[in-house]
Structure 1
Amino acid sequence: MPESAYANMDFSNYKPSSQDFVLKDLPVRVNPAPGPLGADDEAAVTAEHLSQLISALYVAAMEPDAWQVFLEILRQRIGGNYASFIVRDTHGENIGWVISAADSRRDLLQHDPYAFCSPLRGIPRDTVVVLAEWMTEREWRACRYYTDWCKDVDVFNVMAIDIVTDDGCYYGLRVTRSEAMAGFGPREKELMGLLIPHFKRALNMHLALHRDRQVISLYGRATAQLMMGVVILDQNGMVIESNPAATTILNSGDGLKVNNGALEAAYANDNRKLQRLVRDALLHAQTSQLSMTEGMSIGRQSGQLNWGVVVQSISSDEWSEGKQRPSVAVFVRDTTGRADPPLQLAQQLFQLTPSETAVAIQLANGLSLDEAAETLNIRLNTARAHLRSIFSKTGVRRQTELVRLFLNSVAWLGNK
């Protein structure tokens, strides 16, 4: 199994506390599951059996912490002593990563140290494999994987599935029984087989959701570094979310604030116009699939340059009618905030020396050459020499062009 399986699923944030029942043998509290499949069952798999498993599986697709609940239901339903989800297999320097539900064993490891020698590596994908049908009992008892690992953890019978997600990553699902328990039969195989398409779909959903969250996070960081504040309002005009840049602006209380959950401007005239734009955007979102975009300027008590504010409607989703539905986006631009891009990144982008980069950043933040020299504690003649060199390297001829070049560059996105 490739390393990308672990990275793509984002199980790096899987909380150890959610595995306490595995490590300390504390029971998982779930709705009572139907009993394990038995020889006397009239039906192979009932709708109740499958429904409970599939429901837990799709919950796990939304939130990694819920995987152990699905595994515990699966273990109980099939009647195994363990049910495990292999997120990352052991290879090279990896110790692997396995999420398990255990029946009675304490201190179960979170990884399988002998997975590299498992005879189930390389089984056909999207297929239920029972170990007893894969190799003889004699071969299994002589296998290092059994003698060095499975025997000590009371694993003798194994039923396995390996699947490949849309991005080419391998994941495994295992249910095991002790030697004292009966082997897996047709009914258990049937249930596992019915889970295969749902198991694959749930993993693909998880991958897509995690990928979307990563992209959204990157967008949020980019707008924050550009000092673009974004405030999201619900269908009632109440604030439900704001990015870091907007939070900083609102917390300053300089012209804009949140009062009783609503976005307000400090000055009455500005606030009346802001509230009208928000109301118009809310009405527009209910009647049109196209967004409405309006702008205004909002004064600041500090006397600094006004905030530039844009109010935009968010098209309503006919499938969503719940509370706090995103309906309006308010963008706020800080035109005066100082930004300090990483010195090394700015040097790399413009091929400047550290001293030249420091001068360019001060100029980009609105200082004159005299003020930049004083701030950097260098002679004015030295600053002029740096400026001439900067002009030569960047190809600009005026200080205003240099400022525009720096402000429009990607150097500012390097801030953490």
Structure 2
Amino acid sequence: MDQAAVHGAIRGLYEGILDPGAWQQSLRAVTDMAGSAHASMMVWDTVTDQVTVNEVVNPVTELFTAYEAEFQVIDPAKSFAPRLVPGAWYIDARDLGPQAMARHPFYRDFFNRFDLRSYVACLVERQPHYEVYFSMQRAMSQEAFSGEDTRKLDWVVPHMRTAIAMRERTLALSTLASLSSRLIERLAFALIVYTPDRRLLLANTAGERWARRLDPAGKTAGWQLSRHFPDMLQAACDPATPLGAQAARATDSLGNHAEVLVLPLPPAHAFASQWQQPAAMVVVHEAGAPSVLLDTALRNLYALTPAETRLASRVATGEALPEASRQLRIRHETARTQLKSIFLKTGCTSQPQLTHLLTKLSAALDGG
């Protein structure tokens, strides 16, 4: 096998993480090496039992349209799919057999009608609700696929699996980053997310202005903090015991002031999933700015539901969970479930810790 072609196909898979054209060229190269008439990536929605064909090499519109609309329902490969593990191949001539292929309506009424004889499918990815396959087809003028054919392609499967995982991860991060940016611009206060070494990860417009004011010395552009800002970040990002809800007052030479709150970003937080490292969320509320209700802030910062927000507000005052559930007229088990969700979203592990967080947050947002 041409090693230059192999390396080119592998390189194309990884370039295809960001460049769909490179991905298509790589699939075409693999298809040519296998001597196939057509190839495609196929996604099987195991909930609706519907197969979608995309990223087709040498497309024939009628072929793949007919498959999706009618013949995917009787595709004999589906009965073999549960036995496959990721990276394994279904080979029709081996698994179904030539005699069964000759009698099966999938081949008699569909495949042969499009001058196709045989096909293989590799399980690339299996998720709870869908599966991804790489499939190739051969024409009637060619030999049926064999185990030897797929063994010659074993080199491509790990790279294809890795590239698909990276491509999905990249797409998810891009989507989340775009969504996060739009959402935080709607906040009525400055929000910034930092690494322990003060590298800026995320900020809304108001947060960007404050990021320029918060320097290692705790002051810039005439503003001074009552506590050393880098130390606050380090304490919030401590992976073992992050210090929750630290507050500081920022003042300038003209007498203006603002409340700066530094919060550890819980690993479960929607923002945190982007960076795979400890991070701190900084909230700044300037004196004279419109008042921000605590429940609104909880929904914006931690995605608490209205029911979770109501429970958090009562528990944070020191009210016991049984009493809070009675006052809210919900079952104790429901309150326990909601409290666990609140802890997960806020990073708190106890009611006193939650009380401390909400007290500091409320004071900062009220400018007190």
Q: Which residue of 1 aligns with 2:327?
A: 393
The Cα offsets for residues 1-60 of structure 1, whole Å up to 9 and x where unpaired, read as xxxxxxxxxxxxxxxxxxxxxxxxxxxxxxxxxxxxxxxxxxxx2432332222233344
* Aligned mate of 1:263, from 205, 209, 212: 212
1:174 positional shift:
0.8
2:260 maps to which residue? 308
Q: Which residue of the partner structure matches residue 189 of structure 1?
A: 150
The answer as to whether partners of 1:84 and 1:174 remain within 8 angstroms in 2 is yes
Task: Tell me if structure 2 keeps the 8 A contact 1:158–1:175.
Answer: yes
Q: So what's the TM-score if we normalise by structure 1?
A: 0.48
Sort the Cα spacing of 1:48 and 1:127 in 2 relative to 1 into closer, same or farther, 3 A.
same
**Secondary structure at the residue paired with 2:13?**
helix
**Greater gyration radius:** 1
Query: Which residue of structure 1 lines up, in the alignment, with residue 9 of structure 2?
Result: 53
When the two chains are superposed, the root-mean-square deviation of aligned CA atoms in Å is 5.8
Distance 1:174 1:219 in 2: 37
Given that residues 27 and 57 in structure 2 are in contact (C-alpha distance below 8 angstroms), is that contact kept between their aligned partners in structure 1?
A: no
**1:94 to 1:73, Cα distance in 2 relative to 1, 3 A:** same
Deviation at 1:346, TM superposition (A): 3.5
SS in structure 2 of the partner of residue 53 of structure 1: helix
The DSSP-based 3-state class of the residue aligned with 1:263 is helix
Secondary structure of 2:50 counterpart: coil
Separation in 2, partners of 1:345, 1:329: 22
Instruction: Name the amino acid aligned to 2:327.
Output: K
Alignment TM-score, normalising by the size of structure 2: 0.53
1:408 aligned to which of 350, 358, 365: 358
Unaligned segments of structure 1, at least 5 residues: 1-44, 251-255, 313-325, 352-356, 361-389, 396-403
Are the structure 2 counterparts of residues 348 and 257 from structure 1 closer, same or farther at C-alpha, using a change threshold of 3 Å?
closer
Where does residue 282 of structure 2 map in the other structure? 331
Is contact 1:130-1:184 (8 Å) kept? yes
Residue 346 of structure 2 is aligned to residue 346 of structure 1: no
Question: 1:116 and 2:79 equivalent?
Answer: no
For 1:198, the equivalent position in structure 2 comes to 159
* Equivalence map 1:293-304=2 (5 Å): 297-299=249-251
What is the alpha-carbon distance in structure 1 between the residues aligned to residue 213 and residue 176 of structure 2?
Answer: 30
CA drift at 1:306: 0.9
Give the number of equivalent residue pairs.
Answer: 283
String of CA shifts for 1:246-298, please: whole Å, max 9, x gaps. 33x25xxxxx738xxx8248xxx7426679x99989xx9xxxx99xx998644
2:127, 2:48 → 1: CA distance? 26
- Separation in structure 1 between the aligned mates of residue 156 and residue 3 of structure 2, nearest angstrom: 13
Separation (CA, whole Å) in 2 of partners of 1:131 and 1:171: 18
1:229 counterpart residue number? 191
Match of 1:96 among 51, 62, 69: 51
Displacement of 1:176: 1.0
C-alpha separation between the residues in 1 aligned to 2:11 and 2:66? 25
Whether the aligned pair in 2 keeps the contact of 1:308 and 1:332 (CA below 8 Å) is yes
Distance (Å, rounded) in 1 between the aligned partners of 2:177 and 2:106: 43
Matching of residue 105 in structure 1 with residue 60 in structure 2? yes
Structure 1 residue 82: Cα displacement = 1.7
* 1:176 has 2:123 as partner: no
Query: As a proportion of its length, which structure holds more strand?
Result: 2
1:242 aligned residue (179, 197, 202)? 202
